Amino acid sequence: MLHSLLEQRLPVLGHRNWIVIADMAYPQQSNPGIETVYIGGDHLDAVHEMLTLLDKAPHLRPTIFVDHELELVSEKNAPGISAFRDELHCELGEHTVQQLPHEDIIRKLDEAAKIFSILILKTDFILPYTSVFLRMECGYWTQESERELQKAMHAHKENLVLT
């Protein structure tokens, strides 16, 4: 189910869209720009499949966010969390991962959903603060390229004013 859903959705997603691989307790948000789909299954398998498909999508590159709380959840309060953290770290591999407090990530999602679509994929996973948030970036245009373009545009604008 997940593979076919993602194959349908990825071609229409672009820069500033989000995809979330969410645990079972993640709430269904009321913002109309946020769609929640129950996919069930294994959480790490869903993360793996998502990253595999994104690696093949020439137009997308994810910026990954995880909850800062995840590193502080104790094994005593959530048995299995240590193994999950280790497996997630391996799964995310060389991707750049940003840690932010959960509420800060939720605010980013809500703000983005005012203009852009957000897709939340809920798994059957039942450990806290384990959702993986992927903000899509342009796969064929880097931030450095954009900075250079903006600098050139600023210089061009200044030259127009001077002439």
Dist. CA 88–CA 73, nearest whole Å: 14
pLDDT value of residue 146: 86
Q: Are 26 and 20 in contact (CB under 8 A)?
A: yes
pLDDT value of residue 156: 83
Please give the model's pTM, rounded to 2 decimal places.
0.90
pLDDT value of residue 3: 82
Determine the 3-state secondary structure of 48 from DSSP.
helix
What would the DSSP string read from start to end of 127-155?
STT--EEEEEEETTS-HHHHHHHHHHHHH
Domain parsing of the chain, residue ranges: 2-162
Topology classification of domain 2-162: RbsD-like fold (3.40.1650)
Dist. CA 16–CA 44, nearest whole Å: 23
Tens place of pLDDT per residue across the chain (163 aa): 788 888 899 999 999 999 999 999 999 988 899 999 999 999 999 999 999 999 999 999 999 999 999 999 999 999 999 999 999 999 998 898 999 999 999 999 999 999 999 999 999 999 999 999 999 999 898 889 889 999 999 888 877 766 5
pLDDT value of residue 75: 97
Q: Are 115 and 32 in contact (CB under 8 A)?
A: no
CA angle centred on 22, ends 40 and 87, rounded to 5° = 90
pLDDT value of residue 158: 76
pLDDT value of residue 116: 96
Q: Count CB atoms within 10 A of the CB of residue 41.
A: 16
